Structure 1
Amino acid sequence: MSERARVRRTIIVLPLVCGLLLTGSACGGGSKKEKAEATPTSSAEKQKFAKTRFVANAGLAAGAAYKWIVKPYRAGSFKKGADGRTGALVKAGLAGAFTYNRLKAATKNAQGDPTLAKALVPVTAGIDSLKSLGTKLRKGEANDNDVNSVDKVIGQVKDAGKSAGAPVTDKEPSASELKKG
């Protein structure tokens, strides 16, 4: 490739990359004062963001649990001899760890809103009981009680959110999000 073609590509690509990195300082992102204004300052703003984060994290947990744990389990994908059993168990194990992680994050987010925090108090023990779920699923040791407990806890979290004015809807995480979780 000629030097001229490289320069042309750089001229085209550089603004696109800077556009994607709007908040980054590498492309001359906003000043410190502009960035400081984006953070919540009043307690009302903090509560609003707490509910928003709670809804996002709980929705991702619910979506992962349903797509990769509850639905495949009910379809018989985890039974010995089932086609794709190993892959389903690995995905379920990742989803179990991801679900636990997002539910813990949602619980932490809920602490920013007194109503939401009170609504989640009875659910925290259920969330803690899911800690070993990922390992059980990955090893193929999960049973009806384990899968039903996931479904029950997700339902309780959704109910708590709804009662506190933060309704949760399932959000399916991508496979890359699941691996990061």
Structure 2
Amino acid sequence: MLTMALLVGCGGTTTAPASGGAAAAGPVALVTPTAAESEYNSPCPTGGNAKKFAKTRFALHAGLALGAFHRYIYKPLRSGGFRAGAEKRKRTIAKAAIAGAFALHQLKVAKSFATANPSLCRALEGVNSQFSALTDKLHKGTATPADIEAGKSSMTGLQRDAAKTGYKFKEQNVNIPGAS
């Protein structure tokens, strides 16, 4: 239930009907994507900044994605939390999958603000696809250290590209509810 709530809160495409403040049992209703969600999948534009505080908002969301990745995926990998027989391995994998979904959502939101700079937008697309694949592997429990390292290098590359274009961002502290 917590995973469903987190995924819905992080931009999932399904919702569970609720009555009286509690979740009701029954089928899950499919929600059609809004204009903002379809913007995530649109091609990178060729010009202009049409959003207020786009640079600041991009830095915030990209920093949150980096923080979630670093704290819940990269650090546990380095300490051996994903190895067979590791203490609390299933919990670590579950937290990594949730953090991966959160990071992916934050990257999608950051992309909506990166449209002011086409080269930054293209760099973000590569990281987005990398994280989508990584989140799927974490969810299935098939992620390898090489996959995690590829995700780390993608984020480092995004930071470098963003700094070159004036959109510097740094890692933000992230606490994912139920995953601390």
Q: If the TM-score is normalised by the length of the shorter chain, which range does it land in?
A: 0.5 to 0.7
The 1:119/1:132 distance shift into structure 2, 3 A limit, reads closer
Structure with more of its chain in helix, by fraction: 1
Q: Which residue of 2 aligns with 1:22?
A: none
Q: Which residue of 2 aligns with 1:94?
A: 98
Contact kept? 2:51, 2:113, Cα under 8 Å: no
* 1:173 is aligned to 2:177: no
Q: Which amino acid aligns with 1:58?
A: A
Q: Which amino acid aligns with 2:91?
A: G
Q: Which residue of 1 aligns with 2:10?
A: none
Question: Aligned pairs, how many?
Answer: 133
Distance 2:104 2:58 in 1: 14
Structure 2 residues without counterparts, runs of 5 or longer: 1-47
3-state DSSP of counterpart to 1:130? helix
Q: Which amino acid aligns with 1:105?
A: V
TM-superposed CA distance for 1:165, in Å, is: 1.4
Distance 1:54 1:77 in 2: 31
TM-superposed CA distance for 1:130, in Å, is: 2.0
- Cα deviation code 1:34-91 (max 9, x no counterpart): xxxxxxxxx87x5551111100000000000000001101110000100011110000
3-state DSSP of counterpart to 1:92? helix
Indicate which of 37, 53, 59 corresponds to 1:55: 59
3-state DSSP of counterpart to 1:132? helix
Farther off after superposition, 53-62 or 147-156: 147-156
TM-superposed CA distance for 1:177, in Å, is: 9.4
Indicate which of 50, 70, 85 corresponds to 1:66: 70
* 1:135 is aligned to 2:136: yes
Larger Rg: 1
Q: Which residue of 1 aligns with 2:165?
A: 164
Distance 2:173 2:106 in 1: 12
- Cα deviation code 1:5-60 (max 9, x no counterpart): xxxxxxxxxxxxxxxxxxxxxxxxxxxxxxxxxxxxxx87x555111110000000
Distance 2:99 2:170 in 1: 17
3-state DSSP of counterpart to 2:171? coil
Contact kept? 1:123, 1:156, Cα under 8 Å: no
* 1:108 is aligned to 2:115: no
Q: TM-score, normalised by structure 1?
A: 0.66
Distance 1:166 1:142 in 2: 30
Structure with more of its chain in strand, by fraction: 2
Q: Which amino acid aligns with 2:88?
A: G
Q: TM-score, normalised by structure 2?
A: 0.66
Q: Which amino acid aligns with 1:74?
A: R
Distance 1:123 1:177 in 2: 28
Farther off after superposition, 147-156 or 130-139: 130-139
Structure 1 residues without counterparts, runs of 5 or longer: 1-42
RMSD: 2.3
Q: Which residue of 2 aligns with 1:148?
A: 149
